Amino acid sequence: MGPSTSIYLYAPNIIGYLRLLLLAVSWTCVSQPSIFVVFYSASAALDFLDGYLARRLKQISTFGAWLDVIVDNIGRTMLWSYITRWSWIIISLEWSSFVCTHSRGSNWKSSFERAPWLVTKVMDNGFYTPLGILVVLGLHVLPLGLYVLQYPPFGLVLDKYHVLLYTGIGMLAVGRFVCALVELWTVLEHIRHLVSYDIDQELSSLTDDLQKSRHNSTS
């Protein structure tokens, strides 16, 4: 790895590393919600800044996009693991979906060309649709909302505005459920891709063996 490569990996993605640092700091005070929310929210805010600067300065890279998703997953894993002991289901599905999509490299989005109606509606226009926005909010905001409502004085807000908050949490839960369906589809689609690849390889091997056998019999 030469000097230019090192600069490429570190300089344009410095915000991503800063986000990781903020997440690490927030984890040390996860039992102090007023402090935790500040550092966690700062990391999330830098995510939007990072994306804006990358597009504005035309410094979008495969590594940067990968790092961005990794940091997001780490942050949500941290939150879900603290909220409930059943979070392993959500965490496992989220990381499995990440592995299944990004294992194909920069062309991973091509798998969505054959996606069902619900998946395509979520992915349309880069998530900038009502359903896409609901899914993104459910993915990112729901775990943070559930976290803060566990603690006073945040819990007092629930008593005062319980109808509004329960409605909001319910909508976010619907968004996260739809997101889970999309994640599940990506896992099943990747399994289909792997099985299809194995079958093609096996057929190719059988064809080669048959051709060799015919060649040997005629020689």
Instruction: Let me know if 209 is a catalytic residue.
Output: no
Domain that holds residue 18: 1-83
Are residues 41 and 109 part of one domain?
no
Q: How many domains does the chain have?
A: 2
Phi-psi region of 198 (alpha: psi -120 to 50; beta: other; left: phi over 0): alpha
- What is the rounded average pLDDT of the residues 16-25? 92
Give the pLDDT band (50/70/90) at residue 68: confident
For the chain, percent of residues with pLDDT exceeding 70: 80
Residue 72 shares a structural domain with residue 154: no
Domain end call among 83, 112, 131: 83
Nearest of 82, 150, 118 to residue 91 by alpha carbon: 82
Residue indicated by tokens 């570190």: 10
Assess whether 78 and 144 both reside in one domain: no
Closest C-alpha to 82, from 138, 39, 144: 144
**Which pLDDT belongs to residue 5?**
45
d(CA 179, CA 141): 13
Is residue 208 one of the residues assigned to a domain?
A: yes
- pLDDT tops 60 at residue 30: yes
Which residues fall within 8 angstroms of residue 42, CB to CB, at 6 or more apart? 22
Do 163 and 205 have their domain in common?
yes
- Distance (Å, whole) CA 219 – CA 209: 15
Confidence at residue 106, expressed as pLDDT on a 0 to 100 scale: 58
Catalytic residue among 47, 50, 68, 72: 72
Residues 57 and 112 in one domain: no
User: What pLDDT digit, counting tens, does each position of 72-95 carry?
Assistant: 999 999 999 999 888 999 999 999
Residues 44 and 75: beta-carbon distance below 8 Å: yes
| DSSP structural state of residue 124 | G
5 and 41 co-located in one domain: yes
Establish if 130 belongs to a structural domain: yes
- Give the pLDDT mean for 84-107: 86
Residue 97 lies in a domain: no
- Structure confidence at residue 205 as a pLDDT band (50, 70, 90): confident
Query: Do 140 and 218 share a domain, yes or no?
Result: yes
Whether the predicted pLDDT of 107 surpasses 80: no
DSSP 8-class letter at 195: H
Kindly state whether residues 66 and 3 are assigned to the same domain: yes
> Which residues have a Cβ under 8 Å from the Cβ of 135 and sit 6 or more positions away?
122, 127, 175, 176, 178, 179, 182
Are 174 and 75 members of one domain? no
pLDDT, average across residues 8-16: 63
Which of 61, 181, 43, 63 lies closest to 119, judged by CA? 181
Question: Considering the chain, what is the average pLDDT of its residues?
Answer: 83
Average the pLDDT over each of 13-27, 55-69, 127-141 and give the range with the smallest value. 55-69
Provide the pLDDT for residue 7: 42
Residue 98 lies in a domain: no
pLDDT digits (tens, 9 = 90+) for 35-44: 999 999 999 8
Q: Which helix (H) or strand (E) holds 108?
A: none
